[in-house]
Each structure stands twice: as structure tokens, then as C-alpha cells.
């Protein structure tokens, strides 16, 4: 036994005791055949835009070192995790296409049997070899491109860079690559933040999708939805309702799937609290499936989570950053529970911190950990969450 292992011995013993006594019910032993995890993985901490209301501009102002997960680290993390993963988002919070080794990392992810893989990008770097690799990736099911405006000035104002033309050109070219790739190429979604600045552009987003042969548009309220966000349509619910109505009417006349939050009550500013249901984007128009399109893996898996808890994220979701640090969901990036580059899977997902969170869920004490979250809207970012309606 080396000196490092000796040093670790009391800690390991304490963990072993706690896992076998106080937190016994909270210990989780996932099985690969259940593929229990929804993974939101970031492979870098950089971005080339500076969007209004995104966390990134403030983060970048602190001048953090620019970090990129190495290919070797990704391979290690993949070997520990991806056999247990049913949904991998590669990536989520930053701009993953800035990673110089994105193509190699995608090829490693493609070595695994992943029922669903998706990504979200600002679209400015969806070009060249990266775009080709994504279009041909056997695992990638959906590429979501964030596009908040069609007016160049408004785009530059709310995305922080004058890159509208480049994003539109990349989208057009990517559609061509998808057609060349044939059946099984990933779908393309457009993600639009609903803001006061872009209300006039919302209906035109549907026209753009039609012109580019894109079949899904997802509209979300910019966060926070509150009086202190000057971009939130909290301040003008009636104008949002009109733009919403026109956007839906256009989508209905074209073959477009639209996700959109519900209409807002006129007097929303007087309400004491706003229900999460009012902000959640649901499907309001559907489209026909494309020929050759792979179905979502909704019924393929058992349900390896407890059914009587307020939120299943501590069993199901792993948000992982470029260092391998894990947090239990996209709402608690502050609560690091383990590290998948320094620990094996069992240790990383059975840290005392995560056991405490699971135990709180099992005991109905979730408010102690998650006071601000309305967890029936989770698991956040799960494209197959329609399979979970009864437990959340
Ligand atoms: C943080 S970005 C990271 C991925 C990539 N850089 C992009 O922009 O698509 C992920 C998504 O969050 C959205 N987003 C950023 N700030 C937001 C906010 N305040 N409210 C709602 N969505 C936001 C972005 O528009 C994007 O669709
Ligand atoms: S491109 Fe994405 S990560 Fe970058 S600032 Fe905009 S929303 Fe944030
Ligand atoms: S309740 Fe909310 S904050 Fe807590 S683990 Fe679930 S999703 Fe995360």
C-alpha cells in the first residue's frame, strides 16, 4: 500500500460505513443494461459569443483559463460512463465546437451504443470537418442551433456578436450535408429564446425553418422570467400572446413541429407566484415523421429510478464539466458531487454529498437542497422525457 492509499484509508472507511448504514437506501448501483443516465457533458469552458442574459459573458470577464478536455481524458470518462448512458448531450453550457479535437471526441462517443445523442450550438462554427463529422455521426440524433433573431442588428445586440449571416450560411450548408449523409442523419432544431427584443422576429422564424427545410423550432422564455429581467416578456404578456398566436398559425400551415410555452394571463405582473407550467414549452404543432428517421428510444428501457421521490435527477442526471466534475442537474452547477476523471463510476455517483441529496429526496426533504427548483419540470433537457410523465 503506498503512502497516498494510507492517507485515504480513514476517509474510505468512513464512506464505507456510511454507505452501509445511514445512507444504505440512497446508494445507487446502476446496471449497464438499464442505461440509466442522462448526461450533460461539457468538454470546454469557452465560447465565441457574448449573449445577453447568458451566464457566459460574466464568467468570461473573470478571465478564467481556457480549458479543453483532452482526448485521453474523454476516452477515460467515456469508458467509465457511456455504457450506462441512454442520452448524451455533447455539449450544453459552453460552445463545444470551439474544441480543437471535437471530431476525435465525437468519434470516441460514436464507438458506444448510445440510444440518443444531441448537441446545442450557436451555429457559428458548424462548418468544415466538424459539420461533416456531425452530419455523418451514427449516434447524433439532433443538432439544436440557437438563433434568437433574424434582424442582423437585433442578433448582434442579443447574441453579442454580428454573426447572423455566418450562422444562416452554416445552417444552409449543414442541411446539404445532412441530405448527402442520407437516412439517419441528425435532425436540426432551432432554439429561440423569447425576448422583448425579438418578439417581432418570432413568426419569421417559422418561415426560415420552412425555407431551410428544418422541421423543429423550440421557443423558450429567456430566464429569469421576472420583473428584474428587462428582456422578459413578463413585462408585455399581451404582445407575447399576439406573437405566439401568429407564430403558431404559420407553423400549422407548414409541416413544422413547434415547442412553445402557453399564452400568458394579461395580469401576470400582479400574480404572487408564477406556476412552472405556465413557462414550460410544450409541443403545440406536430409534424409528420421523415422517411428513414430513427424513432426515439422511449419504450426501450426499464425504469431504474425510485418512483416515489420529488425529483429523480440525483439518480438519472449527471451534468459533467470539462474537468470531469459532476453535478446532479443543470440547476445545481454549484453542488459538485464527484469527479469522473479521478474516481470510478461507483465512487463518483455514491459520494457522501450525493447520498445526502438522494436521502433528502427519499425522505421528502428536497427543499433543504433545492429550495428554488420546481422539480416537476425536470429532468431538464431530456428529449425522451415524455416517457416519464407519471412520476414527475
Ligand atoms: C448556454 S448555451 C450553450 C450552447 C451554445 N453556446 C448555444 O448558444 O447554443 C445553451 C442554450 O441556453 C440558451 N440560453 C442562454 N441564456 C439563456 C437564458 N438566460 N434563458 C434561457 N436560455 C438561455 C442559449 O440560447 C442556448 O440555446
Ligand atoms: S453562444 Fe451560448 S454559451 Fe455563448 S454566450 Fe451565447 S448562449 Fe451563452
Ligand atoms: S429538485 Fe431541481 S435542483 Fe434539485 S436535483 Fe432536482 S432538478 Fe436539481
pLDDT in tens, 258-307: 999 999 999 999 887 888 778 877 777 777 666 665 555 554 556 788 87
Ligand 3 atom closest to Cα of residue 329: 8
Q: Does ligand 2 come within 6 angstroms of the Cβ of 91?
A: no
What is the grid cell recorded at 204?
419569421
Q: Is the pLDDT of residue 242 over 80?
A: yes
Q: Which atom of ligand 2 is nearest to the CA of 50?
A: 5
Q: Which residue owns the Cα nearest ligand 3 atom 4?
A: 370
Q: Is the pLDDT of residue 193 over 90?
A: yes
Each residue's pLDDT tens digit, 101-138: 999 999 999 999 998 899 999 999 999 999 999 999 99
Q: Is the CB of 146 under 6 A from ligand 3?
A: no
| DSSP letter, residue 368 | G
**3-state SS class at 106:** helix
Residue 317 β-bridge partners: 38
Supply angle C-alpha 240, 378, 230, rounded to 5. 30
Starting from the CA of residue 279, give the closest ligand.
1
Query: Which of 173, 115, 110, 113 lies closest to 137 in space, CA to CA?
Result: 110
* CB distance 379 to ligand 3 below 6 Å: no
Residue 95 Cβ inside 6 Å of ligand 2? The answer reads: yes
Are the CB atoms for 187 and 141 separated by under 8 Å?
yes
The pLDDT confidence band at residue 1, using thresholds 50, 70 and 90, is low
pLDDT at 334: 87
- What is the DSSP secondary structure assignment for residue 64, as one 8-state letter? P
Q: Indicate the SS3 state at residue 145.
A: strand
Confidence of residue 30 (pLDDT cuts 50, 70, 90): very high
Percent above pLDDT 90 for the chain: 70
Distance (Å) of CA 258 to CA 153, 250, 282, 327: 25, 10, 8, 30
The residue whose CA is least distant from atom 2 of ligand 1 is 93
User: Taking residues 83-90, what's their average pLDDT?
Assistant: 92
Q: Which of 280, 305, 306, 328 most suits a substitution to test ligand 3, by most atoms within 8 Å of the C-beta?
A: 328
Q: From ligand 1's centre to the CA of 91, what distance in Å?
A: 11
Q: Which of 43, 51, 121 to mutate to test the pocket of ligand 1 (most atoms within 8 A of CB)?
A: 51
Assess contact for 81 and 74: CB atoms under 8 A: no
Which atom belonging to ligand 2 lies closest to the Cα atom of 159? 6
Q: Exposure pattern of 297-336 as b/e (b: 16+ CB <10 Å)?
A: beeeeeebbbeebbbbbbbbbbbbbbbbbbbbbbbbeebb
Instruction: Quote the ligand 3 centre to 329 CA distance (angstroms).
Output: 6
Return the residue matching grid coordinates 422564455.
221
Preceding peptide of 129 cis, ω within 30°: no
Express each pLDDT in 320-347 by its tens digit.
999 999 998 878 888 999 999 999 999 9
Cβ within 8 Å of residue 153, ≥6 positions away: none
Asked if the model's pLDDT at residue 176 lies above 90, the reply is yes
- Would you say how long the chain is, in residues? 392
pTM listed for this prediction: 0.91
Measure 48 CA to ligand 2 centroid, in angstroms. 8
* Binding site membership of 95 for ligand 1 (Cβ less than 6 Å): yes
Give yes or no for residue 153 having a pLDDT over 70.
Answer: yes
Ligand closest to 163 (CA) is 2
Ligand 1 center–CA 92 separation, angstroms? 8
pLDDT tier, 357 (very low <50, low <70, confident <90, very high otherwise):
very high
Atom of ligand 3 minimally distant from the CA of 372: 3
Note the pLDDT tens digit of each residue in 218-237.
Answer: 999 999 999 999 999 999 99
pLDDT band for 390, please (50, 70, 90 cuts). very low
State the chain's mean pLDDT as an integer.
Answer: 89
Identify the pLDDT of residue 304.
Answer: 81
* pLDDT average, residue stretch 364-379: 72
Ligand 2 in reach of 148 Cβ (< 6 A): no
Q: What is the pLDDT of residue 34?
A: 87
Amino acid at each position: 500500500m503506498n503512502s497516498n492509499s494510507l492517507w485515504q484509508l480513514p476517509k474510505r472507511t468512513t464512506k464505507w460505513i456510511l454507505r452501509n448504514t445511514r445512507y444504505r437506501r440512497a446508494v445507487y448501483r446502476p446496471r449497464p443494461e438499464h442505461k440509466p443516465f442522462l448526461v450533460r457533458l461539457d468538454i470546454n469552458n469557452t465560447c465565441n459569443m457574448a449573449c445577453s442574459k447568458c451566464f457566459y459573458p460574466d464568467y468570461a470577464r473573470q478571465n478564467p483559463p481556457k480549458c479543453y478536455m483532452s482526448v485521453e481524458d474523454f476516452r477515460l470518462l467515456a469508458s467509465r460512463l457511456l455504457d450506462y448512458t441512454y442520452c448524451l448531450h455533447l455539449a450544453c453550457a459552453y460552445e463545444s465546437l470551439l474544441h480543437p479535437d471535437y471530431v476525435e471526441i465525437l468519434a470516441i462517443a460514436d464507438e458506444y451504443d448510445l440510444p440518443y445523442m444531441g448537441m446545442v450550438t450557436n451555429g457559428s462554427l458548424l462548418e468544415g470537418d466538424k459539420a461533416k463529422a456531425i452530419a455523418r455521426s451514427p449516434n447524433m440524433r439532433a443538432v439544436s442551433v440557437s438563433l434568437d433573431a433574424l434582424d442582423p442588428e437585433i442578433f448582434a445586440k442579443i447574441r453579442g456578436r454580428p454573426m447572423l449571416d455566418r450562422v444562416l450560411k452554416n445552417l444552409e450548408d449543414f442541411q446539404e450535408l445532412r441530405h448527402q449523409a442520407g437516412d439517419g442523419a441528425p435532425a436540426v432544431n432551432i432554439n429561440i429564446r423569447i425576448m422583448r427584443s425579438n418578439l417581432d422576429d418570432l413568426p419569421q422564424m417559422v418561415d426560415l425553418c420552412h425555407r431551410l427545410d428544418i422541421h423543429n423550432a423550440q421557443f423558450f422564455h429567456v430566464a429569469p422570467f421576472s420583473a428584474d429581467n428587462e428582456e422578459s416578456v413578463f413585462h408585455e404578456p399581451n404582445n407575447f400572446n399576439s406573437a405566439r398566436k401568429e407564430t403558431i398559425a404559420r407553423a400549422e400551415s407548414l409541416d413544422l413541429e413547434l415547442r412553445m410555452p402557453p399564452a400568458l394571463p394579461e395580469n401576470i405582473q400582479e400574480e404572487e407566484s408564477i406556476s412552472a407550467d405556465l413557462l414550460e414549452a410544450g409541443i403545440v404543432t406536430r409534424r409528420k415523421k421523415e422517411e428513414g428517421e430513427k424513432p426515439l428510444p422511449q419504450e426501450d428501457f426499464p425504469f431504474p429510478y425510485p418512483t416515489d421521490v420529488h425529483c429523480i435527477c440525483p439518480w438519472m442526471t449527471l451534468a459533467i464539466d470539462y474537468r470531469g466534475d459532476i453535478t446532479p442537474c443543470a440547476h445545481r452547477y454549484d453542488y459538485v458531487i464527484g469527479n469522473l476523471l479521478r474516481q470510478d463510476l461507483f465512487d463518483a455517483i455514491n459520494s457522501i454529498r450525493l447520498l445526502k441529496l438522494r436521502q433528502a429526496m427519499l425522505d421528502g426533504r428536497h427543499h433543504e437542497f433545492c429550495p428554488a427548483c420546481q422539480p416537476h419540470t425536470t429532468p431538464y433537457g431530456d428529449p425522451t422525457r415524455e416517457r416519464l410523465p407519471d412520476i414527475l
